[in-house]
Amino acid sequence: MSSNNPPIKKVAISTGGGDAPGLNAVIRAAVLAGKQRGWEMYGIRDGFNGLMMPEQYIEGGVVKLTPERVRGITHLGGTIIGTTNRGNPFNYPVKNPDGTYTEIDRSDELMRSFYMHEIDALISVGGDGSMSIANQLAQKGMRVVGVPKTIDNDLDQTVVTFGFDTAVSFAVECLDRLHSTAASHRRIMVVEVMGRYAGWIALEAGVAGSADVILIPEIPYDLEIVAKKIDERVKSGSNFSIVVVAEGAKPKGGKVTIQGNEIGRAERLGGVGEKVTAELQELTGKEARLVVLGHLLRGGTPTSNDRLIALRFGAAAIRALEQGQHGVMVALDPPTVKYVPLLEATKRMKNVPLDCDTMLTARDLGTSFGD
């Protein structure tokens, strides 16, 4: 939406949720583009914790971002202002005397902090949780522009999110390396990747990395079918198999494997790879090994593609504010970047369409999805 708010003088940037390669590129682009318009740019430390717990930061919870401060950060992984996945101001976890936690609404306190720091607008960079928070802040009167970030590529309304290409590229490199060791030992290599409830990383890395089996959340699997596929490979002379498993994959009639469920944060998925490895070893009689890529997918230098998307998003967020847009998220709509209402962007998760070209390609290549 657009509005006739007072002129912008100060803009704050917040990075929330899990880190992703490209965050620093967003920050640099927003700071330089904001400077071009005469705006002062600031970074809020660790999501919104810099405003809600400023006493924890020696140099203050809100730091001024100058062109000098963001010089040379485009290629760096992580985020120079920090992030957290436990700082939702609408459901903020507070520790009780007995050690338990209670969630309270600190959003009014956060809005007062924006006012005290004379922050006119906010650029919120994050995944679905951060975009939902941004939407709620917009409804409370804050000028907000969201920037989609997630290696999982599960945000609706944007063709792709930055961080995804880097994660897939690294996963493919790992699969390339695992092929030789799997072949040497005639093993089944199970590779568990991130992605939460969407199978984008597993699918694209699996296809590009020549995996024999890909298990994704969108298709409940049957390991009897997977074992049959592996046996068929053995009979045809291929004595090893590569199985890529998304952390959110689940068996037919079963549930997603959860590592933990703490108050104030999204449930942590993981552990399905261990189950798949043990069951396939028993079903096939072949030695099986598990590799969990986990947080390795989040770290490191962003690819040129992710850098470019992140830089475009950061600059587009500034243009949106200049045009009077707020309550919107920037989204990739090749060859342009468009603005979509935050409410629309957070309505649903973007899952892998079972009839998409990459799925059809995988099936034509003989890849098994356990169905």
Active-site residues, by number, are 152
Distance of CA 315 to the CA centre of its chain: 20
3-state secondary structure of 10: strand
Nearest to 292 by CA among 184, 171, 188, 181: 171
Q: Nearest 10 degrees: CA dihedral of 323, 327, 333, 336? A: 10
Q: Where are the alpha helices (DSSP H) in the chain?
A: 23-36, 49-52, 107-116, 128-139, 164-185, 200-208, 223-235, 272-284, 304-322, 342-345, 357-364
Tokens read off for 344? 């629309």
What does the alpha-carbon distance between residue 346 and residue 147 come to, in Å, rounded to a whole number? 12
* C-alpha distances in Å from residue 300, one per residue of 17, 75, 286, 295, 306: 17, 9, 34, 10, 12
* C-alpha distances in Å from residue 233, one per residue of 215, 284, 357, 367: 17, 12, 25, 11
What does the alpha-carbon distance between residue 89 and residue 216 come to, in Å, rounded to a whole number? 32
Distance of CA 112 to the CA centre of its chain: 29
Q: Which residues contact 159 (CB under 8 A, 6 or more apart)?
A: 331, 332, 333, 334
* C-alpha distances in Å from residue 323, one per residue of 37, 250, 259: 12, 45, 44
Tokens read off for 49? 């914790």
Nearest to 310 by CA among 5, 10, 108, 19: 19
